Amino acid sequence: MANSLLNPTPPSEPEDYDYGRRPPGGSPPPPAPPRRDGRGPGRRGLALMLIVTALGGGVAGAGLLLLTGAGDGTTTTTTVTTAPTAAAAQRSDASTGLDARALYANANPGVVDITSRGITSSSSGGGSPFGGPSQSATATGTGFVVDGKGHIVTAAHVVEGASSISVKFQDGTTRTAKVLGTDEATDVAVLAVDPSGLTLHPLALGSSASLAIGDQVAAIGDPFTYDRSLSTGVVSGLDRTISAPNGFTVAHAIQTDAALNPGNSGGPVLDASGRVIGIVDQIATNGSSQTSSGVGFAVPIDLVRSELSKLEAGQTVRHAYFGVSTSDLGTGTAGALIQSVSSSGPAASAGLRSGDVVTRIGSAAIKGTNDLVAAVAAHAPGDRVQVTVKRGSSTRTVTVTFGTQPTQAAQSGQTP
């Protein structure tokens, strides 16, 4: 699916989503910035690179490295500290500026460093956006504590396929982590560590729904393994559509100019009060640069919050499925053009076909692909909705019963 908000090329030239698990690029000493060697699949236009992780900004090391379980405590006491939100004393509304020093002091204890060992990727890609040479390696990313039970949220691609995972806290304590649940449709994972003996600092969850362009934000993470780095910026855009690891699209993504680089993946994006409003996920590149371009994306926390309890319980999160690939019609023309229809999918069963222009789903007006993705995401499998389309000079309304999104899209960036 072409991403009209980020890709200036025509809809016939879809973006290539490079999720980045690349060959090791070495670990050069500072101050020279680490580089990431190796190339992924060919790119056209402006590619989105999923910020994965890693020593030297990519995947480091070869061979299967097993976790030894360092850092297991011997006590049975868990301390939970609820830190005040950043600048709470002087900030009472959105007009007050972000106090970066106070925000960092309060939020940093709730951020964790994640190391995933035994990551494997396939050179063929097999339709997966992960692509790249076949290898087993170590990847690093970021996460954050969400409660006093030892639950940690990160991006699914940080831990996908790992044979072992370790989490390091601010005080240097390291614990073995296990994956409780993942959702590749939103690129979110919940991990669990034994909380005994730890002092936990859960981060408060804010709301991505209340954001406005220009709002100040901050990100804490481990870019290029420079651990616990702070970057600040603003909300540059809202309701963006980005590609998920399963090849479908994520709705309502937050765009920011805060510096995000490999290793930031899974870390928190925070509002001026220190509340988590998104999870770092991707950056836009020009096909050659693999560092911050000033165009980064986060999965919105409201989307994560809606499925958090299911992931903590190890349950499968199911998403509505329409069964189409779409593109925008161009400036000044409303609607999402159906480019292809999945055979036997919900849209096909309702009689929709390539060339139809979707203008409404239920009560939601569809101005373009982003609106369509958001409208489908607002529903659940089994929901019956009225869908209005233009076909040539006529307009018709059909009833569509949404299905359940497949585990993998037929092509990267496919509309739900």
Q: What are the φ/ψ torsions at residue 166 (nearest 5 degrees)? A: -125, 150
Which of 265, 252, 237 lies closest to 299, judged by CA?
A: 252
CB 196 within 8 A of CB 175: no
- Written as six digits, the tokens of 19 are 């999720």
Question: Rounded to whole angstroms, how far apart are CA atoms 35 and 37?
Answer: 6
Question: Rounded to whole angstroms, how far apart are CA atoms 188 and 281?
Answer: 9
Question: Rounded to whole angstroms, how far apart are CA atoms 112 and 142?
Answer: 6
Residue 225 CA, distance from chain mean position: 19
Burial 218-229 (b: 16+ CB within 10 A, else e): bbbbbbbbebbb
In terms of Cβ atoms closer than 10 Å to its own Cβ (0-12, 13-18, 19+), residue 114 is buried
Q: Computed from CA positions of residues 408, 410, 411, 415, in that sequence, does the dihedral angle turn out positive or negative? A: negative
Q: Which residues contact 231 (CB under 8 A, 6 or more apart)?
A: 218, 219, 223, 258, 259, 260
- Written as six digits, the tokens of 66 are 């097993």
Question: Rounded to whole angstroms, how far apart are CA atoms 315 and 313?
Answer: 5
Q: Which residues are catalytic?
A: 157, 187, 265
